[in-house]
Structure 1
Amino acid sequence: MTIRLCCLLWARPGAAGALAAYEDKVLALLGEHDGRILQRARAHGAEGRPDEIQLIEFASRAGYDGFLADERRTSLAGERDAAIARTELYPVEPVEQRSHPASSGTTE
């Protein structure tokens, strides 16, 4: 069963670069656990918004569990704690795009 997650990350004050560097390291491990990043975007973290947003997919629960337990990832816990103030993780499902008729430019 495929697992898709939306991950929202907030950096500690002044640590947005450290957050990105940490995520670069751990996201590089996804492929070894049948995972992949579908989308990764950075924001400015202003007004309480997250600094980074990720959509991640794993082919199975075993892959996700393996990623979480990966010693290379867990050994970076100190780096993570120094850079990341808050994480929110949500299971998500894709929504099919519906085509919309082209606008004719006229009004009724």
Structure 2
Amino acid sequence: MTIRLCVLLWAADGQEDALTGYEDQVLSLIPRHGGEVRSRVRRVGGGDGPLEVQLIDLPDDARMQAYLQDPERLALADVHRRAIARTDVLTVETIV
């Protein structure tokens, strides 16, 4: 059963470009684990909401865990800590 994730990301102060660069790298690993980035959007203008929102499909929980433990992803942990202030991950389903 496919797992669809909605990922909401807030940048640390002044780290908007670093967040984007980090996400470029880690999202490129998703296909390796049988997944697909369905949508990736970035907030325009100011506001308190997340800077970036992603929809990601992964085949199952085992593949999701494999992605989360991917050595290339884990090697970027310091970049993640500097660039990202907050991450919310929701499991969602498509209604329309």
Kindly report structure 1 stretches of 4+ aligned residues shifted beyond 3 Å. Answer: none
1:52 maps to 52
Alignment: residue pair count: 96
Identity of matched residues, %:
44
Change in 2 beyond 3 A, CA 1:20/1:61 = same
Q: TM-score, normalised by structure 1?
A: 0.85
Q: In the TM superposition, what whole-angstrom CA distance separates every residue of 1:5-30 from its partner, at most 9, and x where no partner exists?
A: 00000001110000000000000000
Q: Is 1:83 the equivalent of 2:88?
A: no
For structure 1, which runs of at least 5 residues remain unmatched after alignment? 97-108
For 1:14 and 1:25, how far apart are their aligned partners in 2? Answer: 19
Which deviations, in whole Å up to 9, do the C-alpha atoms of 1:69-93 show, x marking residues without a partner?
0010011000000000000000000
- Cα deviation, residue 47, structure 1: 2.7
Q: Which amino acid aligns with 1:93?
A: E
Q: What root-mean-square deviation, in Å, do the aligned CA atoms of Structure 1 and Structure 2 show?
A: 1.1
Higher relative contact order (CA 8 A, sep 6+): 2
In the alignment, structure 2 segments of 5+ residues that lack a partner are none
For normalisation by structure 2, the TM-score amounts to 0.95
